[in-house]
Amino acid sequence: MGLNEIKAALKKYDVRPSKRLGQSFLIDANVRDKILSAVDVTKSDTILEIGPGLGALTEGLSGASGRVIAIEKDKRLCEFLRKNRRRPNLEIVNADILDYLDTINIPDKKIKVIGNLPYYITSPIITGLLKKRRSFSHIFVTVQNEFADRLVAPPGGKEYGSISCFARFYADARVLFRIKRTCFYPAPKVDSSFVRLAVRKDGLYLTDEEKLFKIIRTSFGKRRKTMLNSLKSCDLFLSPKDLREALGRAGILHDRRPETVFLEEFIRLTKEADRDRRE
């Protein structure tokens, strides 16, 4: 749909794009085609579309796939999608994606996820999807550039953080291309990126994942401090002395900052924390 068609549809269904829901609708046909090409949908695919809006991608997805489950939170947009539905393999669900993820079961065939994510809730959605990763083969999402850079960031820069470690542990994340803000209506304040996460069936390494990410979140919660100081509040270490010794055994200098620590080093530190508990 072009800009004039989108404005007409919004007026007809009395929809004002909600800032609270982060609603922006894709109006660039070239970007739409580029996204559909990148997702590479086949008739054997089941697609979970997050936030279809006015269906800029939905028609192409339902025409090329075996089944599309479109999750839309806005009741008015659901009404539009249902009245304009052209294919029987399109299921429109009026729900919050985070609530929907709580109910999803592992299907016989892995699902491909695609969505233009609201900026204000991007991190919880990505985290929720990766926690349910056994249901998905690939996740394709449009997110703001800043978040995309954080997803794929290596250690050593300000973009690197707990979400970078989380994404790398559970997926191969790549920025496929950038999208100008003018490709959406209403135009957001920032440009976006189209990101692919190829989901790993299991985590990248065998470790206690709950403890690993507790250490990572605690470290980056005080990212301006040294590793020794940032982890003093972490109850996985029995005392500051035990923490210092665990850091040493993991090969991490205690005065390094969290943003310089590799995922593999966090994993070694997790094993050392377990060792202190066992001894």
Element (H, E) at 100: helix 97-103
Pairing of strands 67-72, 46-50: parallel
Say whether the peptide bond before residue 186 is cis (omega within 30 degrees of 0): yes
Q: CA 190 to CA 179: how far, in whole Å? A: 10
Task: Quote the pLDDT of residue 109.
Answer: 67
Which residue has 């593999």 as its token pair?
A: 264
Residue 136 forms beta bridges with which residues? 111
Q: Angle at which helices 263-278 and 209-221 pack, to 10 degrees? A: 110
Residues of the chain with CATH 3.40.50.150: 3-199
Q: CA 48 to CA 50: how far, in whole Å? A: 6
How confident is the prediction along the chain (279 residues), in pLDDT tens digits per residue?
A: 778 888 888 888 887 887 777 788 999 999 999 999 999 999 999 999 999 999 999 999 999 999 999 999 999 999 999 999 989 999 999 999 999 999 887 665 689 999 999 888 999 999 999 999 989 999 999 999 999 999 999 999 999 999 999 999 999 999 999 999 999 999 999 999 999 999 998 888 889 999 999 999 999 999 899 999 999 999 999 889 999 999 999 999 999 999 999 999 999 999 998 675 555
Task: Quote the pLDDT of residue 260.
Answer: 97
Task: Quote the pLDDT of residue 68.
Answer: 96
Q: What is the pLDDT of residues 4-55, one digit of tens each?
A: 888 888 888 887 887 777 788 999 999 999 999 999 999 999 999 999 999 9
Look at residue 34 and give its three-state secondary structure. Answer: helix
Architecture per CATH, 209-278: Orthogonal Bundle (1.10)
Task: Quote the pLDDT of residue 276.
Answer: 53
Q: CA 191 to CA 75: how far, in whole Å? A: 27
Q: CA 268 to CA 240: how far, in whole Å? A: 18
Task: Enter the tokens of residue 273.
Answer: 């924390």
CB contact set of 137 (below 8 Å; sequence gap of 6+): 110, 111, 112, 198, 199
Residue 40: phi and psi, rounded to 5, are 55, 60
Q: CA 168 to CA 209: how far, in whole Å? A: 13
CATH number given to 3-199 = 3.40.50.150
Residues of the chain with CATH 1.10.8.100: 209-278
Look up residue 247 and give its amino acid: L
Nearest Cα to 151, choosing from 169, 167, 170?
Answer: 167
Task: Enter the tokens of residue 10.
Answer: 């919004």
The pTM of the full predicted model, rounded to 2 decimals, is: 0.92
